[in-house]
Structure 1
């Protein structure tokens, strides 16, 4: 099977069910940004050390599920209004993120100030993924009322989750989180 179709050569692409839209359509921007975030998460996971850490298999399983659901978020955003959604994000998906965040947060040092994105390579990449998810959320809200509210809730919670996940991986990998520099004046 060939990967290229040549159908997008003139600046259009298909939504689910075949409706053609411009490649700059807000729906394409929304699901494309979800795809970008998913790729950033994949890069973060590829940067994990070969040596397992405590709960590393469980962590990878959680991320596999998140990447799958993020793919489903993109599919919902790529489904035209009035068409059946093949993969629907559910409230329990949001609740799973919350549960994992609460569990992982228990292992982390309490935040007393802002931290800068960074730490381990994997942690830094998750911070980048977090900002991409925030952008996906902003773009998805631009679509308007035609977006499943749970999709917006999931994106919002996912960005929170990725913040906690970056801290969690940095902690598990022994990476230091840097705080704001005290000598910088406002």
Structure 2
């Protein structure tokens, strides 16, 4: 009786070991083949806006000093009404970015209020046809519009998207004084 128990025990271990490695592969194959358990929802809260031109082509009356030289991201918002509340909301969002805040600049278009810290204020020379009051755009380091948000968007949704963008696009590491030898 002890020999049958000794024979079954190693077989059970082998079957358990095979199940640990084969079962996840089988489950993954079933999920892909029959589209079971695969999420179909989108992860961004904003809308893709490929028709918005680059920031350098926006019809702004002020000089183009708002595009960061270091290639940072830009939160540009059209401040038509309730400008002070909008500017404060996006300032608070900028502060909520924490140690990643230095990678993002804010561009407020319109409004008569004084610029908040870290904010550049500009005005439309002629409002473009794609202009929408209260709209917010997230621009990549090249000045291209990545996401757009309609007026009344929740700040936490924008913060979630900006955090994802910053995480997916890490800051390039620069080592001062180190040069690569060219041949």
Tell me the TM-score normalized by structure 2: 0.27
Higher strand share: 2
Tell me the TM-score normalized by structure 1: 0.27
